[in-house]
Amino acid sequence: VSRDWSSDVCSSDLNWIIADGKARVQIGDSVSIMRAGAGVQVPRRAVHRLANAGRSPLVIIEVQRGTRLDEKDIVRLADDHGR
């Protein structure tokens, strides 16, 4: 799990859709638990984090829309996977 924000050059919108399981979603200082069927839009330049909040696997669909769809604009503030 990483804690990221998209830099000022970010030109895409980010959406997460919970396909299965239960997710802990943090956007800024707001933390919520979301279940399958729920979705959230991550505002540009917002600090955000997503984690599995259940015992079963978490399946998400991440949708990016915009002119730049790579990860070169991501600033990783914390990363449990060493990326």
- Give the pair of three-digit tokens for residue 35: 């279940």
The pLDDT of residue 8 is 47
What residues are paired with 42 via a beta bridge?
A: 14
H/E run at residue 26: strand 22-27
The pLDDT of residue 7 is 47
Q: How many whole angstroms from its chain centre is CA 20?
A: 15
The per-residue pLDDT for range 13-51, each reduced to its tens digit, is 789 999 999 999 999 899 999 999 999 998 877 888 899
- CA–CA separation, 73 vs 44, rounded Å? 11
pTM for this structure? 0.71
